[in-house]
Structure 1
Amino acid sequence: MVGMEHAPGPRATWTFLTNHARVLVQISRDPGIRVRDIAASCLLTERAVQRIITDLEAGGYLTHTRVGRTNHYQVRASSPLRHPADAGPRVADLLALLTPHEPTTAGLEDGAPAVEDGSDA
């Protein structure tokens, strides 16, 4: 008998997370990450990652600053999730579920968190 986790069928054709969510998680983990590295981690093309980053910036979920030859990204964690059925939770809530729980120095610049909560505190 084949276990549920190995059962063939339609489960292999979809996933729980969108590519946009995957890219946002990678950026939140490492705000200085290169598009090439995001693409490799998310199993996407560099062109697809560039389009997703453009979408996230246009939607107000992400900003970037040019630092030399690289980009440094900042996630707007206080932004609401995009779909009306997801009303209530914020990007920060999603990222909290999808990122490691251990504090890390990755993504910190000058002691400030790379993920902004949008408050002016």
Structure 2
Amino acid sequence: MLLCLARNPGMVLREVALKVGITERATQKIIKDLVDSQVLERYRVGRCNSYRINLDLPLRHPLEQQHTVGQLLSMMLSAEEMGRARSRGKAKT
């Protein structure tokens, strides 16, 4: 889910659910958990939600807390995609 939103922060939840292969309801619950834990920040663009990933936040599992969300995503995103995700993370609205 984070990969989808890192690549396209304006992706609607229905599209995320289809890409990930889970229900839209399950997607909503996961997104809510990520927003509540401050991994994601939700903001409005017109009538739609868009998402910003907190790349500097440590991972939640005690065995992985020395690593950040950004380090995890950097293993799966291209350098260009990571650069875009980083620039969106710094531009607060």
1:27 aligns with 2:5: yes
Q: How far off is 1:100 after superposition?
A: 2.5
Structure 2 gaps of 5+ residues are none
Percent same amino acid among aligned pairs?
A: 34
Q: Deviations over 1:2-56 (max 9, x none)?
A: xxxxxxxxxxxxxxxxxxxxx1111111111110110011001111111000000
Of 87, 90, 93, the match for 1:113: 87
Q: How far off is 1:87 after superposition?
A: 2.1
Rg (Cα) greater in structure: 1
Alignment partner of 2:50: what SS?
A: strand
Q: 2:15 aligns with which of 24, 37, 61?
A: 37
RMSD: 1.8
Matched, 1:58 2:36: yes
> Structure 1 or 2: larger helix share?
2
SS in 2 for 1:98: coil
**Per the alignment, in what secondary structure is the counterpart of residue 44 of structure 2?**
strand
Q: Distance in 1 between matches of 2:74 and 2:58?
A: 14
Moved over 3 A (4+): none
SS of residue in 1 equivalent to 2:87: coil
In structure 1, the residue corresponding to 2:41 is in which secondary structure?
strand
Normalising by structure 1, we get a TM-score of 0.66
